[in-house]
Structure 1
């Protein structure tokens, strides 16, 4: 059911922003809609999600109405600070958003459209489990205004899916892609590498299968063992082996090679797109420091440098909104040093990198040694940008540490 919420100061019951927070009309505004429901809990997952037996009185069939109440509240909060900005991106994440009826997802999106408007050409993404996607659902989502389906493929190898507790049939990935294409939706495939028992050949098979489906976008994430998950307990008991760092590095290099040969270019450490227009604009907004409002239990938001997060359980979320109270559980305002660190951490991960001028002190003096070590691109640095090399992407955390000393 996800990790613990951050520590922070209490959030006001009405959700109002502090008087000294500046809401800039020129900053992009994104919307994240969290759908916390899953049929089963994957052993590696640390997200704020719930199976039917964990809902404790919360109702899936009432969820869309609850989110619409939070949308109304957010519009009132932001309208008090100036004209409302249209959403440039909308992202339905989870959980499994497509466990809800398509009509519920459409109503939630229409709530955003009614209260805020959608910017021309807005990117609207829905995450989906392959088993839940039908041609009828894809058309329903398209007609509602969805532009992009992000399909949780993870692997094409049955024993790897089993190690991750993924229950979908690998054949249904193709079916889901075909349904999305038939409805005119863009397609992203999400992959995970480094599962217990996964070999480099297994990973090659998954990459080859994904590329054969010609998605517009591919995300490939190294498996991370999160504390408190089923997989972490299995590793601690010696039932399965922990991911091997060297093997995961080999897997990353293989992904970059095969995807590059197929015409996909990396634009963030774990993300590749066929064309710049097919990058995830929603995720780029996170990495570039835009504003967003996150709706749903456990969702996080950021406006004008203020961050806050909602209560975690769907029942507590519903109770707050039923009593006309903000679901926010706490908030914080990082200081200048923390914001600078976060900017380097996030912006260094994208292919545009960050300006050398954004790094100061010992961090700037480290640039030359990072070039010598092959971690950042020397030519880009001469032109004033810090851009990771392939080796630098593998050691991105070390680069960030050097730049933020």
Structure 2
């Protein structure tokens, strides 16, 4: 007969060892796909031509953030080949972590929030000025990153620039294109239109911009901008929370086209774009992509999503289509809101890697505001609990 301590130990063995994380994806200036915080490590999956097979390169280096914050977000400063990470350290949420992609090194930049709420905002990083613009509770804030690819000893301030015309209750969906910030789903704005803030003139346009083509819904969602080999972004992808489509908005022609919705219907997913691909990192840690050819609507409409195999090979993840998140069960509340893409989507706490258990069945359940994305079967745990109770009685 097992002793009580032995039975308790068996119960603990039935529960998988889990590591909570909130990873993110970004591209470097050469458009290698980088995944940060998966299985406690960082990975370089290479360029798009290599995503069909192989293994990603471990680029984990000292000085990196723990990627344990709520709503960790990553941004490419293309001119400087640097990745900026917000909310990467729950113990120091105001820190901005800087990854120099050429030197493969990390530094930590201190900031003064000046009452900027790091738990409730959406943000974009402007391509030309290298300034963060963030909307939080109706106020527009900025953080000037100058030409930084490594931290300085100075403390950088978040500055409250002005109050937006959209009200404090607007849950922001922000996108960047042509040095303009585009806001989707603002109160009273119809489907297929976006409000605009002109960065270089610090000016909210008085009227919404309408776009011809398929109408994107006037709802919350997530966004990411497609880069150019030269110049500023001209298009951004909008992934609404209803996953009706991926809508690609071109701000030069004022038109909209569509891509297939991502495999994981996960409102807590993160997105990144290169010139020729849109990438999704879902709450289970699965990374998928769809190819994109700018200006070719017929090719894009037929494009399909695939797993980024090199990351799946090293991080123990697979296509998000098999997860519970894919069925729409992973949803967020309107509480803590941050986004790597400017969406302001509620941020769930991601679990890196996959769960495994001795004598128990593991299942992927998705996450919602801190829930485990990989959890041991409840029935297996319950069975062990009943065995303990039966022994005690």
Shorter-normalised TM range: under 0.3
Name the structure where helix makes up a greater proportion of residues.
1
TM-score w.r.t. the length of structure 1 is 0.26
TM-score w.r.t. the length of structure 2 is 0.27
